[in-house]
């Protein structure tokens, strides 16, 4: 049944502003609203939960990133009913309202040493196939955009699916899952190691990536005595 109860958070959201800082830098949040809780920060937006309606999540965009908000609305309209993505409810001037999905991101799983089952990888592959069947381009899928939810995978952040090109991020993660993850499964990864991997990856040449060499370099950094 159609309803717009998610709009009850608009007054609180209007007291918040998201400031974009750079291409790969997290946004800054300005403002205060006691009934909003930030559950995620990205490079274009921050995600909030309104305490009076915890089943909804609100992705509030920086002004410069509003074209991505429009893109996200377009993509969600094509993905309606697919279980591998959040449900889309509507939007305001600077936000979209989607279902609040429980679970740990794959990034959090690495931090906490929570095993990531193969089923998650398989689910994302199925989701990507579905996206392509809708004439869209499943890209920008990384550790913070995939949830482990009751043993299954769920994909977050679809705002780049209308952009062309394959950024290879998911393919590289699958390679790392098959070739590196067996060595660290169940181990808590220090945040400095994950940051080193992220920063090193950003500096690789996308057209000439030697993943094994990169993995060996990171392994020496982590396992050195």
H or E element that contains 69: helix 66-78
Question: CA–CA separation, 196 vs 223, rounded Å?
Answer: 14
Query: Can you list the domains of the chain with their CATH numbers?
Result: 5-99 (3.30.200.20), 104-223 (1.10.510)
Apex 214 CA angle, 210 and 219, nearest 5: 150
Tell me the whole-structure pTM to 2 decimals.
0.84
The residue that leads in pLDDT, 190 or 112, is 112
How far apart are the two ends of the chain, measured CA to CA in Å? Answer: 60
Contact 114, 120 (CB under 8 A): no
Question: CA–CA separation, 209 vs 149, rounded Å?
Answer: 31
Question: CA–CA separation, 141 vs 157, rounded Å?
Answer: 8
Model pLDDT, residue 214? 67
Segment 169-222, tens digit of pLDDT: 899 899 999 988 998 899 999 898 888 887 777 766 666 677 777 677 666 666
122's tokens: 């398989």
Question: CA–CA separation, 218 vs 200, rounded Å?
Answer: 9
In this model, does residue 144 exceed pLDDT 60?
yes
Model pLDDT, residue 170? 92
């Amino acid at each position: 049944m159609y309803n717009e109860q998610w709009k009850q958070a608009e007054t609180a959201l209007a007291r918040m502003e998201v400031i974009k800082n750079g291409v790969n830098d997290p946004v800054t949040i300005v403002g205060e609203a006691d009934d909003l809780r930030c559950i995620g920060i990205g490079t274009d937006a921050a995600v909030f939960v309104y305490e009076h309606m915890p089943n909804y999540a609100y992705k509030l965009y920086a002004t410069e990133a509003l074209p991505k908000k429009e893109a996200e609305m377009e993509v969600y309209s094509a993905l309606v009913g697919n279980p591998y993505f959040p449900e889309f409810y509507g939007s305001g001037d600077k936000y979209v309202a989607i279902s609040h999905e429980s679970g740990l991101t794959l990034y959090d799983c690495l931090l906490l040493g929570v095993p990531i089952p193969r089923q998650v990888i398989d689910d994302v592959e199925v989701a990507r196939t579905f996206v392509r069947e809708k004439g869209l381009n499943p890209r920008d899928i990384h550790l913070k955009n995939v949830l482990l939810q009751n043993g299954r995978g769920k994909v977050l952040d679809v705002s780049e699916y209308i952009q062309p090109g394959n950024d290879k991020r998911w393919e590289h993660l699958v390679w790392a899952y098959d070739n590196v993850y067996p060595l660290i499964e169940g181990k808590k990864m220090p945040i400095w190691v994950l940051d080193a991997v992220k920063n090193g990856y950003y500096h690789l040449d996308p057209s000439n990536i030697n993943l094994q060499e990169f993995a060996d370099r990171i392994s020496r950094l982590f396992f050195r005595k």
